[in-house]
């Protein structure tokens, strides 16, 4: 029956999770952590086998938030999928919009006016900032600092959400970008207000850093925990801050130079050890770089339209073909793969979810650690279930 | 970076009998892809990853695509003998006519891999593999031993499309529950009929809600008939 | 037993406070509703935002989010309930002690919302468990969640301790357990709990 006649080459041992032998002779304790667990960021489940407190097996279980995003995308027109992308990674709706718009623009060879590109960069960096701030807040929540650091992060997040709401009409589900530009133009007032908010962000980062960077508990629980090696990270397709914390210099804003990122000066923060602390530090430093990009972008936003006048909104039918577009979303590489058969709906609509693929190495990072640290390691991956399960 | 033609040539030099074909992408993105045969796919993938010049160490995306049976209507020239009356005499004459013929292109499942290089910072190189049909010849080799990134994505394709990956270390359903029988991302998937309450139906949903009501009425009538008997 | 409102005010002026057991009991219940720390999807983020400094849910006595259903009074279904998750939601609801209340937050929890046509999306959690307050929106703003809280408080305030409409923990006949749906070969079985949900009649 099978047409496949090859003998599978030996499985390379380093790219599989190691086998951890239990110490004693006691029985292993099997725990299903989740789908309802306060630290699983929603409805994620891990099936753990514990030897005392030590993790000897960890199998992630997905699908509790599988909302059939791809199937629905095939039943809708290209534009009608845009509001659904908001609900993928619901912390970062604007970067999701951008990734999808970028893929469709590739598919239909659509240009984007300069002002729209600037607005996209501004919104994407604001999104990155609030995502990283919240991610760090949640990480500390997992460490036992219940509420307080998260309140600091959400205070800043609310300011940014106010900007989103003023421009797009919604706090979280912005549905702002279109194929060939943006939906509405930003007023001079909005830009002024944004400059004001951005001017206040460095003080927040300073404050956050002063509280956390040299905090004894943060250092004791994060340093040397959940180490990920760079070879494994690359092989397992890990992207975003988690990859850069292992020291691999791969940021799509530099590699692909999509949009107008080649006009801005910014550095890519890299880690050295690939542990939780490095992931936390990379996010912290990326927040500072985001502020830098925001300041440069807000300085000279050009005039002009925000929508390409040649862009087709109604009856949008790209030519037969396919395209894969990707951007550096706050959580990693977010890609959209579209196949067009010439009709108004995509034939195949696929999302490459960074959160799901970053979890491939969860087991490798957690094996041999204590069960209390699993919560932290998991928190440092920074996932959103809407994107993991789609 | 090398063009698709050059990559094809270097694969053929390194892996004899690879049988790689180029699949053109007619769209403006022009991301052409390489079609691999199931027999040699793992060898080719290993070459692509380990080759010093290509160094495609990063598997970004794995996609399943379902292509249904396609009915193609084309005109075929046919010669046939017809009885005709020529000059008052009945004769057998040969003539050529164009006749529409229907031919069915068998459906298949396709798996698409998008590769990039993190060390060389280039890409994408797109690989494709196709199954024999959509029912019983759905095995393809797994790429998980080469790129671990494929682990969850191939499980997802197994779950939603029903492609069986030979050599996958842990091939189970990932998104749906284990007792689930269907492959919902296939284009001929029939969803469960739960259209009992549709407050604002339109288009397709309206048709489905109506069908549901008719079915309900049908079963009610049948029950009444049983009771009468 | 009702107290004459006018008399109550007059006596209050004299420094004598009169109330009924029912009022006191319900005042206590409505002022310390402990929600379950239970997020499903996008709406959960707005739920978290509601507990944070700006919207400050603590003003309603409801800031103590309990991770365990045994200690919680209220469940906020904050997001899409998928068919894979629905049995777990019903099980969690069964584990809560009476009196318990449910807020269905957002379009997905009410009806499946934008994802309604998905093969794995449950078309509303009220098919399996009774819901007290529905909040529309995708996601509802934090203000909407606060409004739902106030609506729930009003509902609790109005509950008599005896007779018709008394809370379920004072009614020995009321069901305590709700059947958990099974995950079948194509769909959840049964597709709805008939004792909780009947097909609503649409009037157009």
C67 touches chain A (CB under 8 A): yes
Confidence of residue A368 (pLDDT cuts 50, 70, 90): confident
Q: Is the pLDDT of residue A76 over 60?
A: yes
Indicate the CATH number for domain A4-389.
1.10.645.10
Q: What local confidence, expressed as pLDDT, does residue A4 receive?
A: 35
Please determine, for residue B87, whether its predicted confidence score (pLDDT) is greater than 90.
no
CA distance C124 to C116: 9
Residue of C49, C79, C141 with shortest CB distance to A154: C49
Q: How confident is the model at residue C2 (pLDDT cuts 50, 70, 90)?
A: low
Bridge partner list, B61: B114
The strand pair at A177-178 and A181-182 is best described as: antiparallel
Q: DSSP states of A22-67 as a string?
A: PSSSSPPEEEEE-SS-TTSTTT-EEEEEEETTEEEEEEEE--TT--
Stated as kind and residue range, the H or E segment containing C182 is strand C182-183
Spell out the domain ranges in chain A: 4-389
Q: Tell me what pLDDT residue A289 has.
A: 92
Q: Tell me if chain A has a CB within 8 Å of the CB of B15.
A: no
Residue of A288, A298, B176 lying closest to C188 (CA atoms): B176
Q: What is the mean pLDDT of chain A?
A: 87
pLDDT over 90 at C144, yes or no: yes
CB within 8 Å: B176 and C84: yes
Inter-chain Cβ pairs, chain A and chain B, closer than 8 A: 140
Q: What residues contact C122, with CB distance under 8 A and at least 6 apart?
A: C81, C82, C83, C85, C86, C112, C188
A chain contacts of residue C53, beta-carbon cutoff 8 Å? 151, 154-155
Confidence of residue C135 (pLDDT cuts 50, 70, 90): very high
- Write the DSSP string, A101-158: HHHHHHHHT----HHHHHHHHHHHHHHHHHHHHHHHHHHHHHHT--SHHHHHHHHHHH
Q: Does B130 touch chain A (CB under 8 A)?
A: no
- Chains A–C, number of C-beta pairs less than 8 Å apart: 89
Tokens of C201: 């009649």
Which residue has better confidence, B195 or A293? A293
**Residue A2 confidence (pLDDT) above 60:** no
Can you point out the beta strands (E) in chain B?
A: 21-23, 33-36, 58-67, 70-86, 89-105, 108-117, 122-130, 139-141, 164-166
For A53, other C-beta atoms within 10 Å of its C-beta total 11
CB A303 within 8 A of CB A191: no
Structure tokens at C193: 């709990």
Mean pLDDT check: name the lowest of A360-369, B96-105, C182-191.
Answer: B96-105
**Interchain proximity B192–C84, CB inside 8 Å:** no
pLDDT in tens, B141-161: 999 888 889 999 999 999 999
Residues facing residue B131 across a β-bridge? none
Q: Provide the shortest C-alpha distance from residue C159 to chain A (in Å).
A: 31
| Statement: residue B112 has pLDDT above 90 | yes
| Helix and strand numbers, DSSP H then E, in chain B | 4, 9
Rounded CA-CA distance B162/B133 in Å is 11
Structure tokens at A93: 């709706």
Q: Are A385 and A358 in contact (CB under 8 A)?
A: no
Preceding peptide of A2 cis, ω within 30°: no
Distance CA A55, CA A48 (A): 7
Please tell me which of the candidates A234, A319, A333 has its beta carbon nearest to residue B27: A319
Tokens of C176: 């305590």
pLDDT given at position B193: 81
**Secondary structure (3-state) at B208:** helix
Q: How far apart are the first and last CA of chain B?
A: 79
Chain A interface includes C93 (CB < 8 A): no
Whether residue C204 is predicted with pLDDT greater than 80 in this model: the reply is no
Which residues, other chains included, contact A42 with Cβ-Cβ below 8 Å and sequence gap of 6+?
A64, A65, A384, A385, A386, C39, C40, C41, C44, C79
Task: Reply yes or no on whether the pLDDT at A6 is more than 70.
Answer: no
From the centroid of its chain, how far is CA B213?
34
Q: What is the pLDDT of residue A7?
A: 35
Lowest mean pLDDT segment, chosen from A55-64, B96-105, B169-178:
B96-105
Largest CA distance in chain A: 73
Per the prediction, chain C carries an average pLDDT of: 87
The pLDDT score that the predictor gives to residue A119 is 92
Environment class of A336 (CB within 10 Å of its CB; exposed 0-12, middle 13-18, buried 19+):
buried
Contacts of A12 in chain B (CB under 8 A): 145
Q: Write the burial class of residue B218 (CB in 10 Å: 0-12 exposed, 13-18 middle, 19+ buried).
A: exposed
Q: What is the pLDDT of residue C19?
A: 84
Q: Mind listing the pLDDT tens digit for each residue in A273-290?
A: 889 999 999 999 999 999
d(CA C146, CA A153): 21
pLDDT band at A338 (very low <50, low <70, confident <90, very high): very high
* C-alpha closest to that of B21 among B10, B35, B11: B35
Residues C18-29 pLDDT 10s: 888 888 888 988
Q: What is the mean pLDDT of residues A263-276?
A: 90
Confidence of residue B13 (pLDDT cuts 50, 70, 90): confident
Per-residue tokens: A88: 């993928």
C134 and C104 in contact (C-beta within 8 Å)?
Answer: yes
Contact A90 C40 (CB under 8 A): no
All structural domains of chain B, each given as residue ranges with its CATH number in brackets, are 4-66+110-166 (3.30.460.80), 70-104 (no CATH), 191-229 (no CATH)
For residue A269, the model assigns a pLDDT of 92
> What's the rounded mean pLDDT across residues A64-70?
90
Lowest mean pLDDT among A144-158, B188-202, C129-143: B188-202
What are the structural domains, with CATH classification, of chain C?
34-152 (3.40.50.12280)
Hey, are the CB atoms on B192 and C119 less than 8 Å from each other? yes
- Measured between CA atoms, the residue of chain A closest to residue C56 is A151
Q: What is the mean pLDDT of residues B19-26?
A: 86
Query: Which residue in C41, C52, C54 is closest to A65 by CB distance?
Result: C41
Position A1 pLDDT exceeds 50: no
- Report the gap between the CA of C105 and the closest CA in chain A (Å): 15
* Residue A62 contacts residue A356 (beta carbons within 8 Å): yes
Q: What pLDDT is attached to residue B217?
A: 83
Alpha-helical (H) ranges within chain C are: 5-13, 21-30, 42-51, 86-95, 107-111, 142-157
Across the interface, do B57 and A234 touch by the CB < 8 Å criterion?
yes
Judge whether residue A225 has pLDDT over 90: no
Interface with A, mutate which of C48, C52, C88 (most A CBs under 10 A): C52
Contact status, residue A283 vs residue A330, Cβ threshold 8 Å = no
Whether C46 sits inside 8 A of A63 (CB atoms) is: no
Other beta carbons less than 10 A from residue C1's beta carbon: 5
CB contact under 8 A, B194 and C123: yes
The predicted complex's ipTM stands at 0.87
CB contact under 8 A, C120 and A36: no
What pLDDT is recorded for position B157?
93
SS3 C155: helix
Q: What is the pLDDT of residues C57-70, one digit of tens each?
A: 888 888 788 888 89
d(CA A304, CA A302): 7
Q: What is the pLDDT of residues B186-224, one digit of tens each?
A: 888 888 888 888 888 888 888 888 888 888 888 777 766
Give residue C5's pLDDT band: very low, low, confident or very high (50, 70, 90). confident
Q: What number is the average pLDDT over the span A247-263?
A: 90
Alpha-carbon distance A60 to A17, whole Å? 13
- Cβ-Cβ contacts under 8 Å between B and C: the total is 36
Residues in chain B: 229
pLDDT of res. C17: 86
| B148 to A3: CB separation less than 8 angstroms, yes or no | no
Radius of gyration from C-alpha coordinates of chain A: 22
What are C151-178's pLDDT values in tens digits? 999 999 888 888 888 888 888 888 888 8
Cα dist. B117→A247, B4, B49, B50, B165 in Å?
A: 16, 15, 9, 11, 24
* Res. A197: pLDDT tops 90: yes
Q: C106 and C50 in contact (C-beta within 8 Å)?
A: no
């Amino acid at each position: 029956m099978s047409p496949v006649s090859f003998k599978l080459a030996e499985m390379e041992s380093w790219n599989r999770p190691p086998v951890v032998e239990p110490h004693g002779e006691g029985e292993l304790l099997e725990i299903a952590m989740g789908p309802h667990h306060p630290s699983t960021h929603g409805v994620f489940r891990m099936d753990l086998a514990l030897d005392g407190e030590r993790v000897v097996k960890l199998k992630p279980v997905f699908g509790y938030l599988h909302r059939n995003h791809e199937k629905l995308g095939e039943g809708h027109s290209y534009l009608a999928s845009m509001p659904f992308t908001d609900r993928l990674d619901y912390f970062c709706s604007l970067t999701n919009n951008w990734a999808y718009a970028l893929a469709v623009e590739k598919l239909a060879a659509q240009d984007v006016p300069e002002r729209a590109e600037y607005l996209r960069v501004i919104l994407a960096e604001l999104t990155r900032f609030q995502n990283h701030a919240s991610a760090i807040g949640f990480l500390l929540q997992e460490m036992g600092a219940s509420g307080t650091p998260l309140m600091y992060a959400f205070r800043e997040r609310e300011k940014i959400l106010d900007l989103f709401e003023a421009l797009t009409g919604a706090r979280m589900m912005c549905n702002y970008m279109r194929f060939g530009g943006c939906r509405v133009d930003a007023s001079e007032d909005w830009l002024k207000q944004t400059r004001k908010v951005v001017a206040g962000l460095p003080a927040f980062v300073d404050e956050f850093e002063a509280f956390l960077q040299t905090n004894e508990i943060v250092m004791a629980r994060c340093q040397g925990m959940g180490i990920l090696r760079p070879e494994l990270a690359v092989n397992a397709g890990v992207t975003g801050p988690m990859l850069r914390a292992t020291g691999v210099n791969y940021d799509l804003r530099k590699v692909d130079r999509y949009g107008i990122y080649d006009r801005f000066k910014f550095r890519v923060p890299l880690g050295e050890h690939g542990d939780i602390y490095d992931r936390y530090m990379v996010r912290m430093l990326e927040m500072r770089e985001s502020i830098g990009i925001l300041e440069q972008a807000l300085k000279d936003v050009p005039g002009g339209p925000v929508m390409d006048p040649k862009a087709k909104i109604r009856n949008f039918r790209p030519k037969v073909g396919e395209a894969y577009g990707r951007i550096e979303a706050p959580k990693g590489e977010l890609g959209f793969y579209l196949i067009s058969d010439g009709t108004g709906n995509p034939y195949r609509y696929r999302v490459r979810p960074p959160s799901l693929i970053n979890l491939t190495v969860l087991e490798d990072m957690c094996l041999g650690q204590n069960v209390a640290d699993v919560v932290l390691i998991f928190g440092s991956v920074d996932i959103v279930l809407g994107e993991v399960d789609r | 970076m090398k063009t698709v033609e050059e990559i094809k040539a270097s694969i053929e030099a390194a892996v004899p009998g690879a049988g790689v074909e180029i699949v053109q992408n007619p769209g403006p993105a022009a991301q052409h892809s390489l079609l691999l045969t199931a027999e040699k796919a793992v060898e080719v993938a290993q070459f692509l990853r380990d080759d010093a010049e290509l160094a495609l160490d990063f598997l970004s995306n794995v996609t399943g695509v379902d292509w249904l049976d396609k009915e193609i209507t084309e005109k075929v020239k046919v010669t046939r003998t017809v009885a005709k009356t020529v000059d008052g005499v009945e004769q057998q004459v040969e003539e050529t006519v164009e006749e529409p013929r229907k031919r069915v292109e068998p459906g298949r499942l396709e798996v698409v891999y998008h590769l990039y290089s993190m060390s060389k910072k280039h890409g994408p190189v797109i690989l494709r593999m196709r199954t024999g049909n959509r029912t019983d010849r759905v095995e393809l080799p797994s790429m998980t031993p080469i790129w671990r990134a494929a682990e969850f994505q191939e499980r997802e394709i197994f779950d939603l499309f029903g492609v069986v990956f030979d050599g996958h270390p842990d091939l189970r359903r990932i998104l749906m529950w284990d007792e689930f029988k269907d492959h919902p991302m296939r284009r001929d998937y029939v969803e469960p009929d739960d259209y009992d309450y549709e407050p604002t139906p339109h288009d397709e949903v309206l048709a489905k809600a109506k069908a549901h009501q008719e079915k309900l009425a049908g079963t009610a009538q049948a029950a009444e008939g049983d009771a009468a008997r | 037993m009702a107290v004459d409102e006018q008399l109550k005010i007059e006596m209050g002026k004299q420094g004598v406070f009169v109330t009924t057991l029912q009022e006191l009991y319900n005042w206590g219940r409505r002022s310390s509703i402990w929600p379950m720390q239970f997020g499903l999807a996008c709406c959960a983020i707005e739920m978290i935002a509601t507990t944070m400094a700006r919207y400050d849910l603590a003003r309603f006595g409801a800031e103590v989010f309990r991770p365990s259903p045994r200690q919680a009074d209220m469940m906020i279904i904050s997001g899409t309930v998928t068919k894979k998750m629905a049995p777990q939601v019903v099980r969690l609801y069964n584990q809560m002690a009476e009196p318990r209340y449910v807020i269905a937050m957002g379009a997905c929890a009410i009806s499946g919302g934008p994802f309604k046509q998905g093969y794995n999306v449950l078309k509303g959690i009220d098919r399996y468990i009774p819901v007290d307050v529905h909040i529309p929106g995708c996601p509802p703003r934090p203000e909407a969640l606060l409004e739902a809280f106030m609506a729930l408080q009003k509902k609790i305030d109005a509950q008599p301790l005896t007779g018709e409409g008394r809370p379920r923990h004072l009614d020995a006949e009321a069901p305590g357990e709700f059947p958990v749906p099974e995950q079948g070969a194509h769909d959840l079985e049964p597709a709805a709990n008939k004792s909780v949900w009947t097909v609503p009649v649409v009037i157009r």
